[in-house]
Amino acid sequence: MIDADTQPRILNSILTVAAGGAVGAILRYGISGFSKNLIGDSFPYGTLLVNVIGCLVLGILGGYGIAKLPSTAQLFVITGLLGSLTTFSTFGWESTQLMLDSKPLLAGLNIAMNMVIGIGAAILGYQLGKAIAA
């Protein structure tokens, strides 16, 4: 059971993540729409752009020292904003961290598993959706 002192901290954390998530979702929508209007929709440029921006920002924060940020800033920016903008940034940072920790095989495994299993899950989900619709 959660004690009365912990409940407000948990609620504040949830609201901080939600606020960051709202900002990230709006940014994703805006960036994707902007790139579609500017470049066109023959390729998913918007997704690529938000993924690159998210990876760049999280890389900067990682280089700066994520632990230097107050916990509320970490929740708002990393978990909320970047998590909503793109989860690819977390994937990119975790893979980078494994490489920085001299674990290139684990980094490669993380990359391969996310790509193969993620795309496999999308294909499976598509097939399940078609089966349900039939």
**Are 21 and 77 part of one and the same domain?**
yes
**Are 34 and 77 part of one and the same domain?**
yes
Task: Tally the C-alpha atoms within 13 A of residue 91's C-alpha that lie toward its C-beta.
Answer: 15
User: In which element (H, E) is residue 49 found?
Assistant: helix 45-64
Domain housing 121: 103-134
**Are 89 and 110 part of one and the same domain?**
no
What's at 111, amino acid-wise?
I
Pair of tokens at residue 82: 């970047």
Mean pLDDT along residues 96-101: 95
Predicted local distance difference test score (pLDDT) of residue 47: 87
Residue 16 pLDDT class (50, 70, 90 cuts): very high
**Are 107 and 73 part of one and the same domain?**
no
**Are 81 and 15 part of one and the same domain?**
yes
Residues with Cβ < 8 Å from 53, sequence gap 6 or more? 31, 85, 86
Q: What is the pTM of this model?
A: 0.77
Predicted local distance difference test score (pLDDT) of residue 7: 87
Evaluate whether residue 1 is within a structural domain. Answer: no
Evaluate whether residue 83 is within a structural domain. Answer: yes
**Are 52 and 112 part of one and the same domain?**
no
Residue 21 pLDDT class (50, 70, 90 cuts): very high
How far is it, in rounded angstroms, from Cα 53 to Cα 58? 9
- Report whether pLDDT(4) > 80: no
Pair of tokens at residue 31: 């960036």
pLDDT > 70 fraction of the chain, expressed in percent and rounded: 99
Evaluate whether residue 98 is within a structural domain. Answer: no
| Distance in angstroms between the alpha carbons of the first and the last residue of the chain | 45
**Are 85 and 123 part of one and the same domain?**
no
User: In which element (H, E) is residue 28 found?
Assistant: helix 6-39
